Each structure stands twice: as structure tokens, then as C-alpha cells.
């Protein structure tokens, strides 16, 4: 059934179904074949699947461009207030499917492909995803761009165009092996390079004083090297609106002049060398998750993209003839964690040195410009740069930071008197153990708003990590609970569920997720329940075939699909989940006739390449899987599978197929989580701790529709204080003891006792994430899950209510809150008219 096109570019009177904008099936077919011929240079008999994908991508891009150019023209004309979202990571996922949804042409394109004897699904699968992020933080940025465009908020996303994104993961002999992600190998149809807007970025060298034309002393930065930043723009279309915002990613290149200088001196290799080192800057994404690494190249990346972004904003202001004094009125700049925090010093430098502004007005503009979002409480993730490194790379910025710090600490003294302890804790410079610049402190001082990403997290920030800042400027602190876009995470990933919901309540929920509440009236309707169950089953059959294809493990779609997919980290406790798997295994072995609820445990996620324990956890999952899956006594009652290479594309079928979502981090450690939201929206029930957004999800769906277990944040703190002795739990609990002893004795490692020793020792000795304490409550809670699953009607009702009550967790809600509380920006609707020129 083909829906009538909702957006009709051809209706504005200028043309009718032309091949670049038309969205009728015949037009789409013609445009597609035209692109196959003129862009790919192929005729059908010679075309590969990839050629067809490219032809389709260009066909869709043409339809985006019309909206993109119009959007830029209107923003330029109106000088609209604009959000600049600065993020070292944007984990966009494949563009094609999402653009089809947001353009409202999925069905037409599907029909066009079918009529050409092509399978749209196969073509969608050909897209190499831009994996320009590690996990939650990068994906959040992508969801926010979708919502910003859908809410018609003028936005520029600024980041880095990494040549290699997050590594591809393969599993060899149970171990993670990393492969470089060559996502640009076959070209990227979604981006347009804008070399005309390239900027220069300086590094190293020294500063000197000079007198300006008015005889005033100014500082000049004489750099050691200069790198060019080339912007690459990708259109970000909103859902069924004409707004197409811009994601502007910067690539580093060597400036031509440098090559020539070296070349003229006869140093050909020197010239090439310069080019190679410059281009290294944006080569690769650092694959760390939740840990900070003090690498020079990382600081260079951060400064590079931030400087490019701010220079670009200044260019836009000049082009729009806006005075620089209005910078904070034109732009609301959000710092996605501290990775772009150097922006505070860079904006000061640009205003002071390049535009000769005085300190006070420059500082006022700076503070009014920035907002800072914190994403973690883990101490190992807090960025600090050694003064030695910092001063050698950014000598001018260090001077500015000293000045900011001096003035700030004066204010602290004024408010609190000379409390040296407090002053030391607040200082932008850490002098405890070597000297470091504390990036979170720079972000706090330089921003007018500081937010955490879930209620608990924002409270903990005020009580712990940022306590001193909270006491100094409480008015800056706020919370914005994360959200995810229902367009990608329901409509695109779970079309059957989306259609069922729409058939009952209409499609307003896609833009206003609160409306999905209306399906509550169907929660006990047997007909609706049956369709709900049928869709879940089809989604599980789909994942079962993916698992068979990628891992060779055959699973039963009627078993309970119990899923944990996220980065592998000790605090996320994939190993607690594995202890449950071992416990179930032992129960069946001890009682071979045991009538348990059949389960399939699915894991996926990448470990940071240098994080040994996380890699060992993957090996443990694989080893347990190997024993369990091959044991004839176990049969279909338990299966354990590790799906390799978790990324956005591979995750899309997963959420819709889950019965149970594992959100089992140690309380107080997971800032928010966003996977928890994607699962619950797709009708999975959650087993989880009182951590991050789990708390708010439980409040929204109702305690009776959520499986809660484990220590609270307060419990964790108290237990630490009174002395935590993990081995006591082990000794007191025979089931736990058996599981740990099996891991230690080589039961899962062909008798190798050394393999998992580091993990076992860690659990019995320090157990930093308190698995031992949470083990029994977790096992008991899982037992309840199994019981509940046997009551199909009850489970279905709980599942439906979970989806129905997830309205709050749309990223549209989160973005509305940012707009109101932090950015003070309003929508600027875009009407389609004949294409005009504009500069974005």
C-alpha cells in the first residue's frame, strides 16, 4: 500500500515532478537510472549492488539538496539564532534509510526498487556507516541533530571528519581483534566538501607582544606549524519538515604554502613529510570509552576542530554583517563533554588577539555563549592535560587560562575568604601531582549552564565531582535527561511495530512521542496483544537468522531473548550477566529435567583496544557460550551468543527483538544510558539497577513493569566506607562459589587456569564494581523474570505499557528542554521556494 507523498516540492508552483525533486514512483525510477548512468557510469547489466546503492543515495541526496539550500538561504536572510553543537564524536549510523523516513518517501522508493527488480533492504545494507563515535556520547549527538532539525531549530553540528572511525571488531578464537574502519573507501555520497571555507589552525611556537595601529599592546601568536581545516558538510533533514541543517566535519590538510617553502629549499621529502603529519591529525578516532588518555594527538584533534568551528562562526557573522559583540546572541554553543572545552580559551583568543576586544566584554560574551554537558562521573574519564604538553602546543591559550583562573580565584576568595583547600580544588590548574590543566573546570567557569544527562547524574555532579563549583555558582546547574530519536529507533528499526501503532492511534506519535500513550487502552485487548506478540516474534526470527549467519549458533525464537548490547566495561557488568548464565547452566546440569524458561542470552559490544579486562570479559562470554551451546544436556533451554561488530547498523534489528533489556551497571556509575530507552520503546522489559535514566524509566513505566534489583548509590557508598569484603559473599553463597570456581579452574577454558585468573582475582579481592554483593539479588530478580515470562498475557501487557509510557524519552523532549533552559532559541520554519544561494 503506497501512501500519498506528504512533502510535495513540486507543488510550489515552479515545476512539476522534475527528476531532481519529484517523489512519484515513476520519477524516482527515472532519476535513479539517470544517476546510475551519469554518476556511477554504469548500465544495469554491469552495475553492482554498490552501484545501485550509490545511484539511490544520489537520488535521495538530490531531494535533500532542495531543502538544504532553501534552509541555508532562510537562515542567512533572517540571521537566525543558531545552535552550534560541538562534539568530538557524531555516531550517525547509515544515512539512507533515515533520510527516506524523514523525507516521507520510504514506500515510494521501495516500490520503485521493486519495479526495477531490486530489493531496497539489500541496497540499504550496502551503506558503510560513518562510525565517528565510540558509544553513547556520540550517538546522543546524532539523535540530537535529528531532533533539532525535526523541531526546525537552526543548527550547525561541528566535529571531526575522521578518516578511520571506530574500529571494526572481529572475534578470533574468542578474542576481540580490531580492524581499521575504512568507511570512505568507496566514497561518501552524503557529504559535500567546501574548500572555499577552509581555515588555518596554528600550533606550538611562542607568543610576543606588539603594538597595534592605536598604539595598544596586543599579543601575537607565532606558531610552529599551521594546519588547514577543510569543512565537509552533510545535510541533516528533519522529519517531515523542510528544515535541513548542516553537520560540518573538519579534515586536516597541509597548507600549500608550507609545501612550497620546503620544496623551494630543495627539501622535497620535508615538504611531503609536513603534508603527512598534518593529515595525521584527523586520521583516526581514539577508541577509548570512559577513559581519558593524555595523548598529544588527541589534544591536537580537539583544538583543531574547535578552532575551525569558532572561526567558521565568526566568518558567518561577518558575512551576515553582525557585530562580534553579538556573538552570544547569534550562537548558542554547546560543549558535548570536555573534549571541546578548549573552545572557552579559543573564543577568548579570537576576540582578544584577532579582533582586539577588551578582556571584560570578551569574557562576558564567552560565558554567555557556552553551555557544558557532563557525561560521566568516573574519575578516570576526567580530562586533564599536562602543562608541559599544553604549553608546547597552545602557549597562548595557557596564558589566557592563567588569566581566567586568576580572575576566577579572586572571585572565589571574595565569596569564601582564603580557604586554600577550596581554592586548590577549584583552580583550573591541578597542582597535586605534577601540573595539569583541568578541562572540566575550564568548561564550568566558561559556561553559563552546566548539565548532567539524567536526574541522578545531575544530582551526583552537584554532590561529588562538581560540588565546589555548585557551591560557587549553583544557578548554573541544571539537568537534561537524555533522549533518543523515535524516527531511527522505532520507525526505521521496527517498521512493523510502527505500523501497528499508527494503525491504532494515527501517526502523530512519531513527532510527539507522548501520544504513544494512547496505545495503553489496547494493552489488554487480545487482538492487539496478539499482533504485538506476532511482531515481536517476527523480529526475533530475524535476529535468530542474523545470529546463525554471523556466529553459526542456532537459537530458538520462542525462547526469552535476554540482551545486553553496549561498550564492554567493568562498570556495565557484562560479567555479572555471565555469572547468571553460568548459574542457569549449573542448575540445568544438576537437574537435567529442570523445567526452566528457555533463554537466549545475546551480547554485543566493543572493548577499548587497550582495556585488558574488558577484552578478557569478551573472551569469557565466548568461552562460556562455547561450553553451554555445545552441551547436549542443555539443548534449547539456554544459549549464549556474542554478536561481533556492534555498531549502529547492526544494532537496529536488535532492540526490536528483545524481550529483556539488561541495564545492570553498578549504581551511580552510568550517567544516563540511552540503550535502555531504545529497548523499552520497542517493548522490551528492563532488568536494571537504580542507575542513570533507569530510575526515570522505571518511574515512567511503573515499578510493576520493571525488574529492579541491587544496591543503590547510597548502599554502594556505605558499603565502601564500612569495608567491602567481596570474598565473604563468595564463601557464603554456594551457587556463586561454584560459578567463580568453574571460571578459575579452567572449566570454560579447556583446563587453562591462568586465562581468567586476573578477572577472578579482581572479583574476589577488590571487586570495584560490587558484583559479588549484587549477585544474589540479580539471580533472584532473573528468577522473577523467568516466572513472569511464562504468563504470556501479563508479559505482553507489561511490554505494551513500556512502549506506551516512553514518551518522555524522545530526544525531541530533551532538545525542547535545551532550547528553553539553555539555548533560548526558537524554531525557524522553512518554506520551499525556488532554490536560492546561501552560505549556511
DSSP string, 616-640: HHHHHHHHHHHHHHH-TTTGGGEEE
CA dihedral 400, 405, 406, 410 (to 10 degrees): 150
CA gap 751, 718 in Å, rounded: 39
Give yes or no for residue 145 binding ligand F58 (CB under 6 A): no
Reported residue count of the chain is 840
- Residue 808 annotated as catalytic: no
Binding mask 554-573 for ligand F58 (x = CB under 6 A): --------------------
Give yes or no for residue 375 binding ligand F58 (CB under 6 A): yes
- Residue 678 annotated as catalytic: yes
- Residue 413 annotated as catalytic: no
Give yes or no for residue 169 binding ligand F58 (CB under 6 A): no
- Residue 375 annotated as catalytic: yes
Give yes or no for residue 289 binding ligand F58 (CB under 6 A): yes
Segments of 546-624 assigned E as strands:
560-565, 599-604
Q: Work out which of 244, 377, 671, 822 binds ligand F58, going by CB under 6 A.
A: 671
Size of the site for ligand F58 (CB under 6 A): 20
Give yes or no for residue 137 binding ligand F58 (CB under 6 A): yes
Q: Work out which of 622, 670, 774, 812 binds ligand F58, going by CB under 6 A.
A: 670
CA gap 652, 124 in Å, rounded: 12
H or E, element range at 443: helix 439-446
Instruction: Output the nine-digit C-alpha cell for 466.
Output: 562538581
Give bridge partners of residue 600 from the DSSP assignment: 561, 639
Give yes or no for residue 140 binding ligand F58 (CB under 6 A): yes
Instruction: Output the nine-digit C-alpha cell for 235.
Output: 545535510
Tell me which stretch binds ligand F58 (CB under 6 A): 38-46, 373-381, 655-663, 770-778.
Answer: 373-381
CA dihedral 403, 87, 82, 838 (to 10 degrees): 120
Of the pair 152, 289, the CB lying nearest ligand F58 is at 289
Give bridge partners of residue 838 from the DSSP assignment: none
CA gap 697, 683 in Å, rounded: 13
Of the pair 382, 523, the CB lying nearest ligand F58 is at 382
Give yes or no for residue 453 binding ligand F58 (CB under 6 A): yes
Instruction: Give the residue carrying C-alpha cell 570456581.
Output: 741
Of the pair 313, 439, the CB lying nearest ligand F58 is at 439
Of the pair 369, 672, the CB lying nearest ligand F58 is at 672
Of the pair 66, 373, the CB lying nearest ligand F58 is at 373
Question: What Å distances lie between residue 102 and 67, 83, 107, 147, 543, CA to CA?
Answer: 12, 21, 12, 11, 25
- Sorted by sequence, the CB contacts under 8 Å of residue 13 that are 6+ apart come out as none
Nearest distance in Å: CB 237, ligand F58 = 23
Give the 3-state secondary structure of residue 147: helix
Instruction: Output the nine-digit C-alpha cell for 298.
Output: 588527541
Nearest distance in Å: CB 572, ligand F58 = 9
Active-site entry in 126, 251, 566, 805: 566
Instruction: Give the residue carrying C-alpha cell 512521542.
Output: 513
Nearest distance in Å: CB 183, ligand F58 = 18
- Residue 575 annotated as catalytic: no
Tell me the residue number closest to ligand F58, measured at CB.
Answer: 136
Active-site entry in 481, 674, 686, 803: 674
Binding mask 732-751 for ligand F58 (x = CB under 6 A): --------------------
Of the pair 688, 840, the CB lying nearest ligand F58 is at 688
Instruction: Output the nine-digit C-alpha cell for 833.
Output: 521556494
Nearest distance in Å: CB 296, ligand F58 = 16
Give yes or no for residue 659 binding ligand F58 (CB under 6 A): no
Beginning with the edge strand found earlier in the chain, give each strand of the sheet holding 429-430 in spatial order.
Answer: 384-386, 436-438, 429-430
Nearest distance in Å: CB 197, ligand F58 = 27
Q: Which of 92, 832, 278, 86 is nearest to 270 (CA)?
A: 278
Q: Work out which of 22, 130, 135, 255 binds ligand F58, going by CB under 6 A.
A: 135
By CB under 6 A, the residues from 381 to 410 that bind ligand F58 are: 381
Query: In this structure, are residues 308 and 283 in contact, taking their beta carbons and an 8 Å threshold?
Result: no
Active-site entry in 251, 375, 488, 580: 375
Question: What Å distances lie between residue 406 and 369, 441, 668, CA to CA?
Answer: 21, 13, 34
By CB under 6 A, the residues from 466 to 485 that bind ligand F58 are: 482
Query: In this structure, are residues 147 and 811 in contact, taking their beta carbons and an 8 Å threshold?
Result: yes
Binding mask 688-717 for ligand F58 (x = CB under 6 A): ----x-------------------------
> 3-state secondary structure string, 693-730?
CHHHHHHHHCHHHCEECCCCHHHHHHHHHHCCCHHHHH
Of the pair 377, 500, the CB lying nearest ligand F58 is at 377
CA gap 487, 734 in Å, rounded: 47
- Residue 202 annotated as catalytic: no
Give yes or no for residue 430 binding ligand F58 (CB under 6 A): no
Binding mask 184-213 for ligand F58 (x = CB under 6 A): ------------------------------
The one-character DSSP state at 234 is E
Nearest distance in Å: CB 569, ligand F58 = 8
- Residues with catalytic annotation? 375, 566-567, 572, 674, 678
List contacts with ligand F58 (CB under 6 A): 134-137, 140, 288-290, 292, 375-376, 381, 453, 482, 670-674, 692
Amino acid at each position: 500500500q503506497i501512501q500519498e507523498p506528504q512533502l510535495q516540492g513540486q507543488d510550489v508552483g515552479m515545476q512539476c515532478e522534475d527528476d531532481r525533486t519529484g517523489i512519484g514512483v515513476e520519477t524516482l525510477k527515472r532519476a535513479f537510472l539517470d544517476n546510475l548512468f551519469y554518476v556511477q557510469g554504469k548500465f544495469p547489466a554491469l552495475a553492482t549492488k554498490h552501484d545501485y546503492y550509490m545511484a539511490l543515495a544520489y537520488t535521495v541526496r538530490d531531494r535533500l539538496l532542495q531543502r538544504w539550500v532553501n534552509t541555508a538561504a532562510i537562515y542567512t536572510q533572517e540571521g537566525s539564532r543558531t545552535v552550534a553543537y560541538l562534539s568530538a564524536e557524531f555516531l550517525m549510523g547509515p544515512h539512507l534509510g533515515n533520510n527516506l523516513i524523514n523525507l516521507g518517501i520510504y514506500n515510494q522508493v521501495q516500490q520503485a526498487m521493486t519495479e526495477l527488480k531490486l530489493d531496497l533492504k539489500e541496497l540499504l545494507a550496502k551503506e558503510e556507516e560513518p562510525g565517528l563515535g565510540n558509544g553513547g556520547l556520540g550517538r546522543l549527538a546524532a539523535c540530537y541533530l535529528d531532533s533539532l532539525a525535526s523541531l526546525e531549530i537552526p543548527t550547525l553540528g561541528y566535529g571531526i571528519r575522521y578518516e578511520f572511525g571506530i574500529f571494526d571488531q572481529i572475534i578470533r578464537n574468542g578474542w576481540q581483534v580490531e580492524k581499521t574502519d575504512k568507511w570512505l573507501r568507496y566514497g561518501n555520497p552524503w557529504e559535500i566538501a567546501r574548500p572555499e571555507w577552509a581555515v588555518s589552525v596554528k600550533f606550538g611556537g611562542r607568543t610576543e607582544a606588539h603594538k597595534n595601529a592605536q598604539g595598544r599592546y596586543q599579543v601575537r601568536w607565532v606558531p610552529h606549524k599551521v594546519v588547514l581545516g577543510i569543512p565537509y558538510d552533510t545535510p541533516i533533514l528533519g522529519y517531515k519538515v523542510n528544515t535541513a541543517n548542516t553537520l560540518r566535519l573538519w579534515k586536516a590538510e597541509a597548507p600549500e604554502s608550507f609545501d612550497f617553502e620546503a620544496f623551494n629549499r630543495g627539501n622535497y621529502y620535508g615538504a611531503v613529510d609536513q603534508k603527512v603529519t598534518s593529515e595525521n591529525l584527523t586520521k583516526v578516532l581514539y577508541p577509548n570509552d570512559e577513559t581519558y588518555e593524555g595523548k598529544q594527538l588527541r589534544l591536537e584533534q580537539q583544538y583543531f576542530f574547535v578552532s575551525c568551528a569558532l572561526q567558521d562562526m565568526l566568518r558567518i557573522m561577518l558575512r551576515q554583517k553582525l557585530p562580534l559583540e553579538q556573538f552570544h546572541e547569534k550562537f548558542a554553543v554547546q560543549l558535548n563533554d570536555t573534549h571541546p572545552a578548549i573552545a572557552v580559551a579559543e573564543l577568548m583568543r579570537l576576540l582578544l588577539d584577532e579582533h582586539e576586544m577588551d578582556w571584560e566584554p570578551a569574557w562576558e560574551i564567552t560565558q554567555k555563549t557556552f553551555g557544558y554537558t557532563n557525561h560521566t562521573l568516573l574519575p578516570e574519564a576526567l580530562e586533564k592535560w599536562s602543562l608541559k604538553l599544553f604549553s608546547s602546543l597552545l602557549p597562548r591559550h595557557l596564558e589566557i587560562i592563567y588569566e581566567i583562573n586568576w580572575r576566577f580565584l579572586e572571585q572565589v576568595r571574595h565569596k569564601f575568604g582564603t580557604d586554600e583547600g577550596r581554592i586548590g580544588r577549584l583552580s583550573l590548574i591541578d597542582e597535586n601531582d605534577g601540573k595539569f590543566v583541568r578541562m572540566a573546570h575550564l568548561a564550568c567557569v566558561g559556561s553559563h549552564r552546566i548539565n548532567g544527562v539524567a536526574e541522578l547524574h545531575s544530582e551526583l555532579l552537584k554532590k561529588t565531582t562538581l560540588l565546589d563549583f555548585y557551591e560557587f555558582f549553583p544557578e548554573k546547574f541544571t539537568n537534561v535527561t537524555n533522549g533518543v530519536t523515535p524516527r531511527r529507533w522505532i520507525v526505521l528499526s521496527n517498521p512493523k511495530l510502527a505500523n501497528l501503532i499508527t494503525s491504532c492511534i494515527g501517526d502523530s506519535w512519531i513527532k510527539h512521542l507522548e501520544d504513544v500513550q494512547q496505545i495503553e487502552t489496547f494493552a489488554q485487548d487480545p487482538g492487539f496483544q496478539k499482533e504485538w506478540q506476532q511482531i515481536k516474534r517476527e523480529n526475533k526470527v530475524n535476529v535468530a537468522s542474523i545470529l546463525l549467519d554471523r556466529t553459526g549458533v542456532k537459537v530458538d525464537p520462542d525462547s526469552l531473548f535476554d540482551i545486553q548490547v553496549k561498550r564492554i566495561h567493568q562498570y556495565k557488568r557484562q560479567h555479572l550477566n555471565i555469572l547468571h548464565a553460568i548459574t542457569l547452566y549449573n542448575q540445568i546440569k544438576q537437574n537435567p529435567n529442570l523445567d526452566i524458561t528457555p533463554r537466549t542470552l545475546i551480547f554485543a559490544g566493543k572493548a577499548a583496544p587497550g582495556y585488558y579486562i574488558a577484552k578478557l570479559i569478551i573472551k569469557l562470554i565466548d568461552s562460556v557460550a562455547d561450553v553451554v551451546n555445545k552441551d547436549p544436556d542443555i539443548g534449547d533451554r539456554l544459549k549464549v551468543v556474542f554478536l561481533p561488530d556492534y555498531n549502529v547498523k547492526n544494532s537496529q534489528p536488535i532492540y526490536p527483538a528483545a524481550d529483556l533489556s539488561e541495564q545492570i551497571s553498578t549504581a551511580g556509575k552510568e550517567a544516563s544510558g540511552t540503550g535502555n530507552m531504545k529497548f523499552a520503546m520497542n517493548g522490551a522489559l528492563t532488568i536494571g539497577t537504580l542507575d542513570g535514566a533507569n530510575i526515570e524509566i522505571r518511574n515512567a513505566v511503573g515499578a510493576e513493569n520493571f525488574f529492579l534489583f541491587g544496591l543503590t548509590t547510597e548502599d554502594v557508598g556505605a558499603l565502601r566506607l564500612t569495608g567491602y569484603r567481596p570474598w565473604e559473599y563468595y564463601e557464603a553463597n554456594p551457587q556463586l562459589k561454584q560459578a567463580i570456581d568453574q571460571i578459575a579452574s579452567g572449566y570454560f577454558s579447556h583446563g587453562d587456569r591462568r586465562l581468567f585468573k586476573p578477572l577472578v582475582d579482581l572479583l574476589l579481592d577488590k571487586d570495584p564494581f560490587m558484583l559479588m554483593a549484587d549477585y544474589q539479588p540479580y539471580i533472584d530478580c532473573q528468577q522473577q523474570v523467568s516466572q513472569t515470562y511464562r504468563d504470556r498475557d501479563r508479559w505482553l501487557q507489561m511490554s505494551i505499557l513500556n512502549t506506551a509510557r516512553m514518551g518522555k524519552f524522545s530526544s525531541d523532549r530533551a532538545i525542547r528542554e535545551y532550547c528553553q533552559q539553555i539555548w533560548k532559541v526558537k524554531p525557524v520554519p522553512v518554506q520551499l521556494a525556488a532554490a536560492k544561494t546561501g552560505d549556511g
